[in-house]
């Protein structure tokens, strides 16, 4: 193709709005993929995704993204953390003559939401030699009520969860503490209390008994919404997996589509050119391959051999080379083989490989490009399909695996729609973008199908 031809092709593509939409979306996805790989390197992504409670303790479980509040009149509480880096926290230390200290930590926050939070947690850290420091917690509501929450000796590390405190629940007339602490005492319907809006305070009064003994704590409120993508049942921010799913999906789709299309073409060109037993062998392999059921074989390879995405990719390409497509390409090559310019090449003594690579294969490019682009979505969805069957790569977070996780937790039944919809919408956008571009390219390169 000369420069002029290329420019003409681009001008034609520009005439199809669907092609432009498709191309723009694909470029955007590539941009997201590159951004992801730079900002969250592979190792970090794996660590985050497999990190568990230690990494994700600030997040509530199974909550939709924070931007859900933009579309509702009544606001769900957003999760937040108060510690010495963020939020309004004061810490005063008074040292007594006997070496003991009184430490008072006050967390102040404004609660202006229409629903109750999922939980309140305090992460305590204490240093001591023999005697545990002692802490007592007091809750101050906007209308000035003081509620003695609890008191206990603090070990080296301790997590206090308001929702798990049955003594406190008893004190609060059996109502769940995370509700009772926020409930407006003047709620119109006491059975369905509403939260009291305003400034709340949690005061931790601690006493340490030894010199060099210390007590600190972090305050975390688990709301009903969190982050840009929400969280799953392990409190993980789905954004990590959504972002990392992009390069994985694109790489799998493009590599599988490219590998399959190119290898199919090369094999059919070789078969058509050499003929004889080479052609016969390729035809027989194709027939055997068509007897093998594609998806069950892939599932067997995934179950029995390896879950690694690269093994699955290799198997997918290997199984997709010798299909009906190779017969279609062969038919075209048989025609090209008889054309005069191939005769001319033979006459000047071109080698077999020269004819295949310089005369036969370039003639296929117009057929090739649309079918390559069109086959990308099916491979992207194939990766997701295998993940939905539980055969996803165990290390990588992918879109398909989010859907699989969601299914395993009965997300649709439990109403956690965001969990399935986010990866599903991304998959669909990716598939449709390639489909739109592919269909347009098909009409440009194969004018016989062109619409009026």
Partner 1 sequence: MAVAVQPEPGAEKKKSSSTIARVGRYSLTRLVILFITLVIGVYLTILIANMGGYVDVIMKAEIRANTTMSFMSSRAVQQMDPATRSKLLEAMITQEDNRLGLNTPFAIRSFRYLGNALTLNLGSAQQMTSDSGSKQVRLIILERLPATLLLMGTSELFLFFSTLFLALALSRHYASFWDKLVIALSPTSTVPPWFYGIFLILIFAALLHLMPFGGLVDAPAPTNPVDFVLNVLKHMTLPALSLILASFFLTIYSWRTFFLIYSSEDYVEMAKAKGLTSRNIERRYILRPTLPNIVTQFALMLIGVWQGAIITETVFLWPGLGRTLFRAIGFYDTPVIVGTVVIYAYLLAITVFLLDFVYALVDPRVKIGE
Summarize as ranges the residues that interact with partner 1 (CB under 8 A).
18, 284, 287-288, 290-293, 295-297, 299-301, 303-305, 324, 327, 331, 374, 377-378, 381, 384-385, 388-389, 403, 407, 412-413, 415, 417, 420-421, 424, 427-428, 431-432, 434-436, 439, 448-449, 451-452
Q: Which is nearer to partner 1, 28 or 290 (CB)?
A: 290
Shortest distance in whole angstroms from residue 147 CB to partner 1: 39
Question: Residue 14: phi, psi to the nearest 5?
Answer: -65, -20
Residue 155 carries which DSSP code? -
Q: Which is nearer to partner 1, 274 or 417 (CB)?
A: 417
Cα 96 to Cα 90: distance, rounded to the nearest angstrom: 20
Shortest distance in whole angstroms from residue 70 CB to partner 1: 20
Q: Which is nearer to partner 1, 71 or 348 (CB)?
A: 71
Cα 307 to Cα 246: distance, rounded to the nearest angstrom: 19
Q: Which is nearer to partner 1, 273 or 434 (CB)?
A: 434
Cα 83 to Cα 89: distance, rounded to the nearest angstrom: 6
Cα 13 to Cα 270: distance, rounded to the nearest angstrom: 32
Shortest distance in whole angstroms from residue 36 CB to partner 1: 23
Q: Which is nearer to partner 1, 342 or 420 (CB)?
A: 420
The tokens of 392 are what?
């996803």
Cα–Cα–Cα angle for 324, 254, 435, nearest 5°?
70
The tokens of 390 are what?
């539980």
Q: Which residues, listed in sequence order, are joined to residue 231 by a DSSP beta bridge?
A: 237
End-to-end CA distance of the chain: 27
Cα 392 to Cα 240: distance, rounded to the nearest angstrom: 16
Q: Which is nearer to partner 1, 116 or 252 (CB)?
A: 252
Cα 340 to Cα 357: distance, rounded to the nearest angstrom: 17
Shortest distance in whole angstroms from residue 408 CB to partner 1: 12
Cα 406 to Cα 92: distance, rounded to the nearest angstrom: 45
Shortest distance in whole angstroms from residue 291 CB to partner 1: 3
Q: Which is nearer to partner 1, 6 or 331 (CB)?
A: 331
The tokens of 130 are what?
């023999």
Shortest distance in whole angstroms from residue 82 CB to partner 1: 36
Question: Residue 204: phi, psi to the nearest 5?
Answer: -100, 115
Shortest distance in whole angstroms from residue 334 CB to partner 1: 11
Q: Which is nearer to partner 1, 350 or 435 (CB)?
A: 435
Shortest distance in whole angstroms from residue 333 CB to partner 1: 14
SS3 89: strand
Region for residue 95 given its phi and psi (left: phi exceeds 0; alpha: psi -120 to 50; beta: otherwise):
beta
Q: Which is nearer to partner 1, 263 or 285 (CB)?
A: 285
Q: Which is nearer to partner 1, 56 or 434 (CB)?
A: 434
The tokens of 200 are what?
């709340």
Shortest distance in whole angstroms from residue 135 CB to partner 1: 44
Strand order in the sheet with 134-140: 88-95, 101-111, 198-208, 134-140, 146-153
Q: Which of 137, 160, 159, 154 is nearest to 210 (CA)?
A: 154
The tokens of 396 are what?
């990588």
Shortest distance in whole angstroms from residue 60 CB to partner 1: 21
The CB-based long-range contact list for 301-306 (8 Å cut-off, 24+ gap) reads 302/386, 302/389, 302/391, 303/391
């Amino acid at each position: 193709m000369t420069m002029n031809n290329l420019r003409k092709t681009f001008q034609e593509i520009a005439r199809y709005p669907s092609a432009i939409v498709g191309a723009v979306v694909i470029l955007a996805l590539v941009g997201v993929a590159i951004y992801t790989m730079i900002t969250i390197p592979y190792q970090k992504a794996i660590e985050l995704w497999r990190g568990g409670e230690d990494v994700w303790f600030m997040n509530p479980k199974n909550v939709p993204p924070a931007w859900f509040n933009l579309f509702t009149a009544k606001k769900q509480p957003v999760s937040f953390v108060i510690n010495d880096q963020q939020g309004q926290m004061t810490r005063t230390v008074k040292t007594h003559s006997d070496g003991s200290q009184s430490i008072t930590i006050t967390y102040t926050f404004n609660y202006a939401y229409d629903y109750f939070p999922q939980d309140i947690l305090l992460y305590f850290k204490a240093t001591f030699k023999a005697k545990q420091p002692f802490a007592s917690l007091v809750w101050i509501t906007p209308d000035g009520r003081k509620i003695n929450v609890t008191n206990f000796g603090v070990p080296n590390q301790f997590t206090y969860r308001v929702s798990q405190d049955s003594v406190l629940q008893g004190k609060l007339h059996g109502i769940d503490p995370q509700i009772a602490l926020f409930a407006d005492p003047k709620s119109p319907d006491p059975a369905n209390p509403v939260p009291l809006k305003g400034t709340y305070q949690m005061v931790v009064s601690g006493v340490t008994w030894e010199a060099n003994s210390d007590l600190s704590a972090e305050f975390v409120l688990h709301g009903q919404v969190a982050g840009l993508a929400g969280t799953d049942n392990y409190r993980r921010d789905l954004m990590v997996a959504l972002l990392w799913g992009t390069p994985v999906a694109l790489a799998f789709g493009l590599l599988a589509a490219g590998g399959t299309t190119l290898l199919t073409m090369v094999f059919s060109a070789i078969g058509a050119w050499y003929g004889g037993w080479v052609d016969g062998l390729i035809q027989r392999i194709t027939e055997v391959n068509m007897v093998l059921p594609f998806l069950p074989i892939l599932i067997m390879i995934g179950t029995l051999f390896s879950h690694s995405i690269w093994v699955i990719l290799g198997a997918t390409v290997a199984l997709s080379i010798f299909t009906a497509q190779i017969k279609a390409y062969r038919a075209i090559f048989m025609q090209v083989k008889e054309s005069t310019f191939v005769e001319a090449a033979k006459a000047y003594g071109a080698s077999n490989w020269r004819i295949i690579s310089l005369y036969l294969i370039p003639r296929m490019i117009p057929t090739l490009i649309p079918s390559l682009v069109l086959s990308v979505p099916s491979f992207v969805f194939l990766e997701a399909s295998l993940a939905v069957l539980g055969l996803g790569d165990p290390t990588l977070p992918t879109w398909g695996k989010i859907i699989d996780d969601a299914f395993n937790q009965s997300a649709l039944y439990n109403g956690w729609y965001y969990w399935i919809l986010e990866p599903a919408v991304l998959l669909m956008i990716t598939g449709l973008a390639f489909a739109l571009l592919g269909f347009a390219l098909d009409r440009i390169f194969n004018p016989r199908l062109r619409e009026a």
